[in-house]
Structure 1
Amino acid sequence: MKKLELFEENQQEIASLAKALSHPARIAILQFLASTPTCISGDISDYLPLSRTTVSQHLKELKSMGLIQGDVEGLKIKYCLNKEGIEKLKNAFGGLFEEITPSENKTC
């Protein structure tokens, strides 16, 4: 048994999502896609200070976690946020932050 399996499923899920967000480039990509009114067709690295290879690696990670989606359109891929994945992210972290809110009457 792996030590990871000793933790609850929701704890594992939050940790996986946190890992997907653990690089500033991925945060920048999500923010860029959120600020764009349509899906981005073409090379996102034109809009970010990153090489194509770096952007591609980060897009792959975000896509594997279900936070973005990409559809092939001819020779290009259209990228946008995955609504269900982003809702899952918000719910997971929102629930976590509710659970770890410090009690006001505790003193240490």
Structure 2
Amino acid sequence: MRFLLKDIFTFEKRDQNLSIADLKQCPVRPHFVQSIQAFYRLSYEGEDLRSNVCFANYPGLRPVFRTVFTHQDLLDYIRLSLQKNNFDMERDAIEFPEQIEEFWSRISK
């Protein structure tokens, strides 16, 4: 599954080149969330759950048992996939792997 960054995040059109810090402030598009939820059978939690008492996003939890992904998980995946600090919202695309284990293994390194 492949998405352009402009199809993942809502952003102001005048700001075509954004940093990872800028992306952190951008809302995720509902259509993208629905696509990822259906594809991976995960729930999306906009906030980072790592400070939550729940173990849903505990780093030591095996990928097969994870049921949610966060905005930070998404940002980590994008940063590690594109391996740069500034992103062209119109041209940069992210390829999401077929298997969710590949997604988790990339961001857990």
Structure having greater relative contact order (Cα 8 Å, sep ≥ 6): 2
With the length of structure 2 as denominator, give the TM-score of the two structures. 0.28
Larger radius of gyration: 1
Greater share of helix residues, 1 or 2? 1
